[in-house]
């Protein structure tokens, strides 16, 4: 599995990397986000929302698991932290194969439901403002996208 790294030294850099990613996405794409509490998963998702032309403020969906936003296509923002240790399926397939982009925080907790082709992203804390963003694309389609983000 290939991994590509980028460093974001400010929140704005994280947002702009996420915006660039969003500009390359199409309906049915699935992005997973891993990283410790406060690493920047929701922040990264905000950048994706901006990049999809969503003007509504994105907030953490912790208590609802899924929130939907409408931009140039729908964004399904999921935070499945509360599903740790359960194997509850809340209809993931319909989102993952639906007509929007799915972004899943704490995706490791629903590993069995994730589609094979997806982009796995891990955000690592490096310093107060700096983060390392690791991309692991699965499938040729997402490899291409990551190459474009890095170029």
Ligand X SMILES: Nc1ncnc2c1ncn2[C@@H]1O[C@H](COP(=O)(O)OP(=O)(O)OP(=O)(O)O)[C@@H](O)[C@H]1O
Q: For binding to Mg ion (CB under 5 A), which residues are involved? A: 41-42, 60
- Nearest CA to 27 out of 76, 81, 88 is that of 76
Q: Which is nearer to ligand X, 72 or 124 (CB)?
A: 124
Q: Which is nearer to ligand X, 77 or 118 (CB)?
A: 77
Label the pairing between strands 74-79 and 101-105.
parallel
120 binds, among Mg ion, ligand X, none (CB under 5 to 8 A by kind): none
Q: Which is nearer to ligand X, 23 or 60 (CB)?
A: 60
- The runs of H, that is alpha helices, within 9-136 are 11-23, 41-51, 92-96
Q: What are the φ and ψ backbone dihedral angles of 13, each rounded to 5 degrees?
A: -70, -40
Q: What are the φ and ψ backbone dihedral angles of 33, each rounded to 5 degrees?
A: -125, 125
Residue nearest ligand X by beta-carbon distance: 40
**Any bridge partners for residue 79, and if so which?**
105
Residue nearest Mg ion by beta-carbon distance: 42
Q: Is 43 in the site for ligand X (CB under 6 A)?
A: yes
What mask of x and - would describe binding to ligand X in positions 92 to 111, judged by CB under 6 A? -------------x------
Q: Which is nearer to ligand X, 6 or 117 (CB)?
A: 6
């Amino acid at each position: 599995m290939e991994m590509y790294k980028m460093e974001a030294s400010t929140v704005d850099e994280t947002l702009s990397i996420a915006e660039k990613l969003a500009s390359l996405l199409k309906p049915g794409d699935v992005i997973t986000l891993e990283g410790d509490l406060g690493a920047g998963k929701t922040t990264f998702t905000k950048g994706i929302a901006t990049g999809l032309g969503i003007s509504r403020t994105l907030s953490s969906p912790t208590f609802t698991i899924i929130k939907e936003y409408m931009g140039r296509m729908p964004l399904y923002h999921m935070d499945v932290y509360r599903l740790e240790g359960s194997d509850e399926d809340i209809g993931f397939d319909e989102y993952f194969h639906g007509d929007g982009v799915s972004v899943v925080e704490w995706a490791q907790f629903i590993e069995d439901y994730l589609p094979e082709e997806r982009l796995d992203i891990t955000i690592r804390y490096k310093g107060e403002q700096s983060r390392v963003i690791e991309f692991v694309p699965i499938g040729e389609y997402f490899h291409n996208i990551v190459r474009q983000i890095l170029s």
